[in-house]
Structure 1
Amino acid sequence: MIIGVLHLKPLPGSPRYSDFNEVIEHAVRNAGKLEEGGVSAILVENYGDFPYLREVGKETVACMTAVIKEIQKEIHIPVGVNVLRNDAIASCAIAKAAGAEFIRVNQAAFPSAAPEGFLEPAAGTLARYMRMIDLKARVYADVNVKHAVHFAAIEDYLENIERTFADAVIVTGKKTGMAPDLAELKKIKEAVEIPVFAGSGINTSNIARFAEYADGFIVGSYFKAGDEIEVEKVEKLCRLARSLKR
């Protein structure tokens, strides 16, 4: 299973915002390319909004909801949402309004230090908010997420991941485009009973090494040339992933 990441252009309220119609057109076009290439689902992120906030404005929630609704008119695979950086409540609100099937949470348990400041663990607030708004979306939680300094050992994350109510775990490298540590991925896969995704740095050259321990892959930057998805890259990686799981 490959989840393709759709990096949105800068949204209203962010420093590099330009034109909302362009945001929608770009998102719909590239979501179509991901589906055409064979991904199983699409994860929508406000990637263009850097430098990120730990709590986004109402305009971001409204605009991401609108974009996802437009995407859903054109594609027929599940859509998820991740609001950077670690705004799980905003992700939930968008998922509820847009009917997204899953959300990604970068810091579910334990705090970390990131360029945006301290990322607080979201699980407690998230679980209560999901219950309050009756949200049934699946939660995919990062362990030792990229672009952050972690104080808890990987063993601490694993001992507590079930208490976050995560439906799946995501393992990344240290930064975007860097693959996870294979030994760490193996340790996590052996320790948890929920699905494990390799969430960064996966490409045609290394996917075979990770397929033994990953139940799926989350791929973003590898599929892109500039701001556009290259269908050929998507097709090639998806075809290879399917062959490895036979």
Structure 2
Amino acid sequence: MNLNKTIIGMVHVQALPGTPQNKYSISQICDIAVSEAKLYAAAGLDSIMLENMHDVPYLKGTVGPEIIAAMSVVAKAVREAVDLPLGIQILAGANKEALAVAKAADLQFIRAEGFVFGHVADEGYIDSCAGELLRYRKAIDAEDILVFTDIKKKHSSHAITADVDIDETAVAAEFFLSDGVIVTGSATGKAVYLHELKSLKDKIQIPILIGSGITDENLEEYWNYASAFIVGSYFKEKGVWKNKIDEKRIKNFMDKVKLLRLG
């Protein structure tokens, strides 16, 4: 998967069976995810990522077999529906599980939390996982699946690594064989600090992905400092992640992308 100003659209998978807000069957959940994925594909997005965002409150570092099974079924349905690179994140920090689903459903990448160093998230302390995760990727013969890794992640406290700045964190992630680092704002839908991106661009050779806060209004400002842009909230009605997709928002955004690609 070549990242070259790649636009990645988020499919926030509906709450899965066994989670507090579940109200749909697996079949219905698949239908909704496939419908959203097809909208993204028709609008010209480059890639799609699945995430179990509706499964609040999230478990920490692992999920049950019912979630792994359900996400595999959803991922396979989307894989069969669209011919785009696909990725997955399983919250919170269930990185090995995400890799297993990606392997089973023929996905191209995962988004991993807590790859290097550690942080305190809503769910509690998330420890680093690079060594274990990449050994697991090797063990299941999944080295063709890219691992994009959050650094100084949103919705988290980084007080315990306050003496390690984002540049050093990115360098560590590269040294530990990350396939690309994801930079976020303080929360879902919040913009990234531009000065951090400008600094990072000269510190690492691996791709930089922006993981929150991108809109059609600020995309140009960030365009030259990232290889890929993960967009979720902006594509939803009123810019709220849990709402339905707003096709007009997608069109406006992709029109801006086309202009920027023309230089």
TM-score for the superposition, normalised by structure 1: 0.96
> Following TM superposition, by how much is the alpha carbon of 1:4 offset from its aligned partner in structure 2, in angstroms?
0.4
Equivalent residue, structure 1, for 2:207: 195
Cα distance in 1, alignment partners of residues 227 and 168 from structure 2: 22
Decide whether the 8 Å contact of 1:14 with 1:49 is kept in 2: yes
Answer whether contact 1:34 1:229 (CA < 8 A) is retained: no
For residue 154 of structure 2, what is the amino acid of its counterpart? K
The correspondence for 1:10, drawn from 10, 15, 19, is 15
1:179 match:
191
| TM-superposition CA deviations, 1:124-173 (whole Å, max 9, x none) | 11110000000020111111110011124213303312232111111100
Percent of aligned pairs sharing the same letter: 36
1:205 aligns with 2:217: yes
Give the counterpart letter for 1:201 in structure 2: G
Which consecutive aligned stretches of 4+ in structure 1 deviate over 6 angstroms post-superposition? none
Q: Secondary structure at the match of 2:255?
A: helix
Moved more, 66-75 or 44-53: 66-75
* 2:240 is the counterpart of 1:224: no
* Per-residue Cα deviation, 1:22-78 (whole angstroms, up to 9, x for no partner): 211111111111111111000000000011012111111110010011112211111
- 2:124 alignment counterpart: 117
Secondary structure of residue in 2 paired with 1:63: helix
Whole-Å separation in 1 of the counterparts to 2:214 and 2:133: 29
Gaps (5+ residues) in structure 2?
1-5
Q: Which position in structure 1 is the counterpart of 2:139?
A: 132
Instruction: Name 2:39's counterpart in structure 1.
Output: 33
Partner of 2:3: none
Alignment match, 1:69: 76
User: Which is worse superposed, 219-228 or 135-144?
Assistant: 219-228
Pair 1:237-2:253 in alignment:
yes
RMSD: 1.2
Q: C-alpha separation between the residues in 1 aligned to 2:188 and 2:147?
A: 21
Which consecutive residues of structure 1, in runs of 5 or more, have no partner in the other structure?
none
Aligned residues: 246
Contact kept? 1:38, 1:234, Cα under 8 Å = no
The answer to whether the Cα contact below 8 Å between 1:7 and 1:45 also exists between their aligned partners in 2 is yes
- What amino acid sits opposite 2:151 in the alignment? V
Displacement after TM superposition at 1:80 (Å): 0.4
Name the amino acid aligned to 2:83. Answer: H
1:132 aligned partner, one-letter code? A
2: CA distance, partners of 1:184 / 1:193 = 15
> Residues 139-158 of structure 1 correspond to what in structure 2 (within 5 A)?
139-150=147-158, 151=161, 152-158=164-170
> Please, which moves more after superposition, 225-234 or 143-152?
225-234
Q: 1:242 to 1:123 in 2, by over 3 A?
A: farther
Q: Looking at both structures, which has the greater relative contact order when contacts are Cα pairs under 8 Å and sequence separation is at least 6?
A: 1
Counterpart of 1:46, as a letter, is N
